[in-house]
A and B are shown apart, each in its own frame.
Chain A
Amino acid sequence: MKTVIINYGAGNIQSIKFALQRLGVEAVLSNNVEEIRNADKVIFPGVGEASSAMKKLRESKLDRVIPTLTQPVLGICLGMQLMCNASEEGNTKGLGIFDTDVVRFSENVKVPQIGWNTIQNLESPLFNDVRENEYMYLVHSYYAEKSSEMIAESEYDIKYASALQKNNFYGVQFHPEKSSKAGSKILENFLKL
């Protein structure tokens, strides 16, 4: 099985690579279209600012490739946000895979949200053997609004989608690679899809 982590210059991909290594999987970092297309599993990471990350995707033409992938794809954090229709951050048009928008937390709460929050209403094989209200590590200022594609929900100021799924596309707002054993379980579940 070949797992590719899309390497488009946005964020901390080393940690994802290490987390997969702990599961015995040696992932390949790549921005090569053919290599991504031929992978069995694709991880789409992202940390940082939405519009500049989207710009990098466009420069490498990955913005056109990702939505056409047919194998299981997992967007993490900003990766998930970029898979949505649009983000308020930098007025960014997203890849439009998930039919929801990404907006900023209100000033009622500290922004960014940093730390461990619970995920609930888990509805996906991604969460096999993961308990309701499990803790996940999150760092973000923008969130995906609830939608029919939501497979996990979290609450910070409001209730929002902390995971989404549409067909072969999965997205998680939290960092499974940094969320201890339960996070590792989610990565393992993804690799088994």
Chain B
Amino acid sequence: MLTKRIIPCLDIKNGRTVKGVNFVNLRDAGDPVELAKIYADEGADELVFLDISATEERRKTLQKLVLDVASQVDIPFTVGGGISAVADVDRLLKAGADKVSINSAAVKRPELINELASKFGNQCIVVAIDAKQIDGEWIVHLVGGKMPTDIKLFDWAKEVEQRGAGEILFTSMDNDGTKDGFANEALAKLSEIVNIPIIASGGAGNMQHFTDTFVAGKADAALAASVFHFKEIGIPELKQNLKENGINVRL
């Protein structure tokens, strides 16, 4: 049976991890490759690298990072952040990334999803959607949730599926950083209206939240950053806990 996935997310700036991490056994807490190897050994099912650098050299730096990760880490990983062109994706996949995640560029030019899916296959195209509720309606936001659009979450989710997205990474800006749990109602609705896997993101605070998002939220995977980086939740304990709660995980 297919298992539910646990995905640590690493924010990357100029080739280094951004958020402080609390791993005592790390020689270099800013080294994404070393952190990635630890997560892989602990049983993470996948990794996401989100590049937030805005320098001229970012392309080269990111490509080198992807090569380093691919050479040393034996689980799949996704790269996202600022990807807007077919050529970017080509370089990242050739360097060894398994999937790429696109966000704002897809909102600005939805045909990009079709182009990427037809060139590389939909299995490697993740569309990331950031949304928050405005007057009770889930609205897609850009620029890390700062800029509202006039696009409704559920309409957009259907559209990206039709255009060839292989997976949706949904971040609720209402839940992100709260540690109060994932946006399970919206997640469950997403799973009902599209037939591609949904990755839940935003709001993880304790182990129960993961069980909740897999059961109530019907999510296929759950992504989190700080709870893993600060060792508030260990991946082996989390997976054991999920198993005890009847969730099918890789152990």
Residues on A lying within 8 angstroms of B by beta carbon are: 11-12, 14-15, 18-19, 21-22, 47-49, 107, 110-118, 135, 137, 139-141, 155-156, 175, 177-181, 183-184
Q: Which residues of B contact A15 (CB under 8 A)?
A: 70, 96, 98
Residues on B lying within 8 angstroms of A by beta carbon are: 1-5, 40, 45-46, 67, 70-72, 74-76, 93-98, 118, 120-124, 166-167, 195-197, 220-221, 250
12 A-B contacts (beta carbon < 8 Å):
A12-B93, A14-B96, A18-B71, A21-B71, A22-B74, A47-B121, A111-B195, A114-B220, A115-B4, A116-B3, A175-B76, A178-B74
Our pick among B70, B75, B122, B195 for the contact of A14 (Cβ within 8 Å) is B70
A19 to B75 alpha-carbon distance, docked (Å): 10
Q: Is the CB of A115 within 8 A of B196?
A: no
Our pick among A14, A107, A113, A183 for the contact of B95 (Cβ within 8 Å) is A14
Q: Is the CB of B166 within 8 A of A18?
A: no
Q: Which residues of B contact A47 (CB under 8 A)?
A: 120-121, 123-124
Q: Which residues of B contact A22 (CB under 8 A)?
A: 71-72, 74
Q: Which residues of A contact B123 (CB under 8 A)?
A: 47, 112, 114, 139-141
Our pick among A21, A114, A137, A140 for the contact of B75 (Cβ within 8 Å) is A137
**Would you give the shortest CB distance from B164 to chain A, in whole angstroms?**
11
Q: Give the number of A-B contacts (CB < 8 Å).
A: 99
A15 to B122 alpha-carbon distance, docked (Å): 19
Our pick among B3, B67, B74, B93 for the contact of A117 (Cβ within 8 Å) is B3
Q: Is the CB of A177 within 8 A of B5?
A: no
Sorted nearest first, the 4 A-B pairs with minimum C-beta distance are A14-B96, A48-B121, A135-B250, A18-B71
Q: Is the CB of A110 within 8 A of B76?
A: no
A22 to B74 alpha-carbon distance, docked (Å): 9
Report which residue of B76, B122, B123 has the largest number of chain A beta carbons within 10 angstroms of its beta carbon: B123
Q: Is the CB of B5 within 8 A of A116?
A: yes
A137 to B122 alpha-carbon distance, docked (Å): 17
Q: Is the CB of A115 within 8 A of B74?
A: no
Q: Is the CB of A117 within 8 A of B98?
A: no
**Would you give the shortest CB distance from A178 to chain B, in whole angstroms?**
5
Our pick among A14, A156, A175 for the contact of B2 (Cβ within 8 Å) is A156
Q: Is the CB of B76 within 8 A of A137?
A: yes
With A14-B96, A47-B121 as given contacts, are A116 and B74 in contact (CB-CB < 8 Å)?
no
Q: Is the CB of A180 within 8 A of B74?
A: yes
Q: Which residues of B contact A113 (CB under 8 A)?
A: 2
**Would you give the shortest CB distance from A177 to chain B, in whole angstroms?**
7
A115 to B118 alpha-carbon distance, docked (Å): 21
Our pick among B4, B45, B96 for the contact of A12 (Cβ within 8 Å) is B96
With A12-B98, A111-B196 as given contacts, are A180 and B121 in contact (CB-CB < 8 Å)?
no
